[in-house]
């Protein structure tokens, strides 16, 4: 901290000081605001503006290349009358809920396994992140080949177990197609859960386990009454992020099935894109995309309140 060396001079008798930009910028509050301004402006420009513009668009009958007219909630009413829209909403919820649960359970298992001591532990932990690191488009193309009836390693294995050729049509059957995209999303999202929960696990004091063991707690009881309560805040935060990512997923479906067969894998993000970009109906597309908002907002507010209450 700089120390003022000049003697105090009364305001009335002090000669008028000239304004110094460097000193002004050096003041604590000004400096902190100057540092805060870029990220705030960045957020306003790249998150706030598109978000508000999206809401504005959804209230307009707005076709690309034409001026829009305000129509209130007409786009949302039109969505409500569209049976495909409801199918897409259902798909998005099924996809998000099942994939998130699988990632949560699998991620916890993964974290518990990775928390043990074994050879090449660090290398295995690093390798675990691979699905998360590989670009989604690239890994999805790999899955496209793996699920292809002609080249499928999956069907090849099933054939070895006696399933007749050509085997299940993983992406052609509506139920199997949804199952497939959920599995791929789980594969991709598992490391995020696993590594984050592993970090949480490592903060649990060993003494608590020792105390529980002395009290006669079994392995399950140690997990149930020590590990789980201490991990809960991290599980909730990871779940929050995971739900947001999964709910708004686009790339996987766009590359793998483009929403087919017969919209069985169409999600809100892909459907909104087709309407907004494919058909040039920017207003209607924005209204489809914005239907994600209430569900996500409720979840975010709910989890945040719960966490605040806990702490």
CB atoms within 10 A of CB 214: 8
Task: Name residues whose C-beta falls within 8 Å of residue 30's C-beta, 6 or more positions apart in sequence.
Answer: 24
CB-nearer residue toward another protein: 34 or 305: 34
> From the list 50, 166, 205, 302, which residue makes contact with another protein (rule: CB under 8 A)?
166
Q: How far apart are CA 297 and CA 306, in angstroms?
A: 14
Does residue 257 interact with another protein by CB under 8 A? yes
- Residue 36: which H helix or E strand, with range? helix 28-43
Stretches 149-157, 190-198, 203-211, 213-221: which one binds another protein (CB under 8 A)? 149-157
**CB of residue 189 vs another protein: minimum separation in angstroms?**
23
> From the list 24, 25, 229, 304, which residue makes contact with another protein (rule: CB under 8 A)?
25
Does residue 172 interact with another protein by CB under 8 A? yes
> From the list 65, 123, 138, 214, which residue makes contact with another protein (rule: CB under 8 A)?
65
Does residue 177 interact with another protein by CB under 8 A? yes
Count residues binding another protein (CB under 8 A): 48
Does residue 251 interact with another protein by CB under 8 A? no
> From the list 39, 83, 135, 219, which residue makes contact with another protein (rule: CB under 8 A)?
83
Angle at 264 between CA 261 and CA 267, to 5 degrees: 120
Does residue 150 interact with another protein by CB under 8 A? yes
Nearest to 267 by CA among 282, 250, 280: 250
Q: How far apart are CA 249 and CA 269, in angstroms?
A: 7
CA distances from 141 to 82, 138, 262, 288 (A): 31, 5, 21, 27
> From the list 55, 277, 293, 305, which residue makes contact with another protein (rule: CB under 8 A)?
277
The two three-digit tokens of residue 144, written as one number: 């496209």
- Residue 60: which H helix or E strand, with range? strand 60-61
The binding site for another protein (CB under 8 A) comprises: 2, 22, 25-26, 31, 34-35, 38, 61, 63-66, 74, 78, 81-84, 148-151, 166, 169-174, 177, 257-263, 266, 274-275, 277-282, 284
């Amino acid at each position: 901290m700089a120390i003022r060396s000049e003697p105090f001079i009364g305001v009335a008798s002090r000669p008028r000081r000239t304004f110094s930009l460097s000193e002004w910028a050096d003041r604590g509050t000004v400096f902190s605001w100057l540092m805060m301004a870029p990220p705030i402006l960045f957020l306003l420009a790249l998150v706030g503006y598109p978000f508000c513009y999206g809401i504005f668009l959804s209230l307009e009958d707005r076709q690309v290349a034409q001026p829009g007219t305000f129509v209130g909630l007409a786009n949302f009413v039109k969505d409500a009358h569209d049976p495909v829209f409801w199918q897409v909403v259902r798909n998005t919820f099924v996809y998000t809920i099942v994939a998130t649960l699988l990632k949560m359970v699998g991620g916890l298992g993964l974290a518990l396994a990775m928390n043990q001591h074994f050879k090449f532990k660090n290398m295995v932990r690093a390798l675990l992140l691979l699905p998360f690191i590989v670009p989604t488009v690239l890994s999805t193309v790999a899955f496209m080949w793996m699920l292809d009836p002609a080249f499928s390693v999956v069907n090849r294995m099933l054939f070895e177990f006696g399933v007749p050729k050509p085997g299940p049509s993983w992406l052609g059957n509506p139920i199997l197609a949804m199952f497939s995209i959920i599995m791929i999303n789980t594969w991709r999202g598992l490391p995020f859960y696993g590594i984050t929960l592993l970090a949480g696990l490592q903060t649990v004091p060993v003494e608590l386990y020792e105390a529980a063991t002395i009290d006669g707690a079994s392995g399950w009881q140690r997990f149930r009454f020590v590990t789980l309560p201490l991990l809960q805040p991290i599980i909730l935060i990871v779940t929050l992020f995971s739900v947001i990512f999964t709910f708004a997923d686009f790339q996987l479906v766009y590359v793998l099935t483009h929403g087919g067969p017969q919209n069985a894998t169409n999600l809100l993000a892909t459907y909104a894109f087709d309407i907004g970009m494919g058909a040039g109906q920017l207003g209607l597309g924005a209204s489809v995309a914005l239907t994600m908002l209430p569900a996500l907002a409720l979840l975010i507010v709910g989890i945040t309140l719960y966490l605040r209450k806990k702490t």
